[in-house]
Structure formats: C-alpha cells, structure tokens
Amino acid sequence: MHREFEQDIVHLNMETTVQKKNATVAVIGAGDFIGGEIAKKFASEGFTIFAGRRNGAKLEPLVKEIEAAGGEIHARSLDARKEEEITSFLNDADKHAPLEVCVFNIGANVNFPILETTERVFRKVWEMACYSGFLAGREAARLMTSQAYGRIITVASRAWQGNPGQANYSAAKAGVVGLTKSVAKELGRHGVTANAIAPGLIETASLRELATFDQIAERAIRDNSIKRIGQPDDVAAAVLYLASPQAGFITGEVIHVSGGRFG
C-alpha cells in the first residue's frame, strides 16, 4: 500500500495520515513517555508494533493500553547494544509483516563537566545512544533496501549542538545526527528515508521528579519561542509525519521539536 500511494499523486493528495495495514513499525526504546507515545500513535494508524527496551517487563502497561484500543503489539526485552538481539528483533518484525518504519529512541543523559567525565561514563553513553543506533540502522537498512521502501527515524536531542555539562550526551546525540544524515545519503536511491527528531525539554515523570524541575522548566519556557515545555505527544506527532507518504521527499533532516529553542 505504501509504495502504491508514493507513486500515485492523486492518492497522496487525498491521504492525510500514515498508511496502514500489513506493515510493522519497530520502536527501539519503547515504554513510557516518548517511546510509548510513538508506539501508540502508530498503533492507532493500524500498524503492528514491535516494541523493545532493556527491561521488557516495563512494557506491560503499554501492551495493555494498545491491545485495549484494538491494536496489535509484540513486546520484548532488548539490549540494543547487542548485535544479535537487534538483528533478531528487527527480523522477527519483518517476518510478521514488512518492516516499513524503524524508530530508534535510546539515550542516556548523564551530566558531568568534561573534567569530571570518565572514560567509562563516556563509553556507556556513547554505546547506548550512538553505537546501538548504528546497529539498528544497519539492520533496518538491510531489510528496507530489499523491499525498496522504508523510513528510519532517530530520536536525537537539541543537545546535539552542545550543552555545558553534557559533553558525553551531546557527543553521542551529535553522532546520531551524523549517522542519520549519512544513512539518508546512502539509502535514498533505494526508496528509504532517514531523518532525526531533536526534542527540546519534554515533560516526563522522571523530569518532574527532579528537585530542580521548576527551575529547569522556567528556564526552558523563557528561552522557548512557544511558551511551554514539550509533551511526548509533540515528539510522537513529528515522528508520525516523517513516516508518512507526504514526507517521502524529506531525508537527512533534523526536525527540532523544541518550541523554537535551537541553540
């Protein structure tokens, strides 16, 4: 269905949402908040969801919510840093139905000034956010190029441009952006697009639990053009658009979902 709509400009003009039926979406880093909202968005469009995160037990509430709404979801524990697990996860998704969208949403934000950042911390953050993104992107690319269609969408961060006290995180997310842009240039000829989402401050439970939440939110709202902090649904909506046929001529881009705060 997707390829037919891509080729038919009349249908493209009529269609307003992502196509559905007989296709899977892999969400690597699903669960609560951003990843969960992404999974629910696609499930509501009729896609079968393959959801993975390190602690698969934490996916149970998401599974119940999607299934209660009539959607289909397959959830499992997934260590995205392990090649064999990524390969098995994405291949199982593709065997169930063609893998048309792969969303990579993993990262660890560990704040340390550069002089206090150890090699161990840097490697851990890099492996989670960038190396695992490479593994996921490579396997998704293999599957998608064979069918001449696909959408690879990575969730980076506004921090890819650099943040004080976040050298490890900023470097890892900048790596995600560079990886995405390179993949886009390689795979466009095969009908596969690759784009990154760069969220600004997004309200999650873990953020709200911080003792400094009020100060963080106040600073973000002051610097944002849109005077509020972001919600997980803001990110999920952007991901859904990049997966749609209407985004078929967009690749290698970084979409900032940051309320107008870029630097």
Comparison of pLDDT for 7 and 137, the residue scoring more: 137
Question: Phi/psi of residue 192, each to 5°?
Answer: -115, 130
Beta pairing partners, 257: 199
The one catalytic residue among 131, 149, 169, 241: 169
**What pLDDT band is residue 21 in, cutting at 50, 70 and 90?**
low
Q: How many angstroms separate the Cα of 113 from the Cα of each of 130, 162, 173, 207, 219?
A: 20, 12, 17, 20, 20
Task: State pLDDT tens for residues 35-69.
Answer: 999 999 999 999 999 999 999 999 999 999 999 99
Q: How many angstroms separate the Cα of 245 from the Cα of each of 14, 16, 23, 39, 100?
A: 11, 9, 14, 18, 11
Return the residue matching tokens 């649904």. Answer: 233
- 169 in active site: yes
The answer as to CATH 3.40.50.720 being correct for domain 2-255 is yes
User: Residue 258, by phi and psi: left (phi above 0), alpha (psi -120 to 50) or beta?
Assistant: alpha
List the single range of 39-43, 160-164, 198-202 with lowest mean pLDDT: 160-164
As given in the structure block, the two tokens for residue 74 are: 């397959």
Give the global pTM. 0.88
DSSP strand pairing (192-199 vs 254-257): parallel
Question: Phi/psi of residue 72, each to 5°?
Answer: -120, 130
Q: Is 59 strand, coil or helix?
A: helix
Instruction: Pick the closest to residue 172 from 82, 79, 108, 103 (CA basis).
Output: 108
pLDDT at site 30: 94
- Domain layout of the chain by residue ranges: 2-255
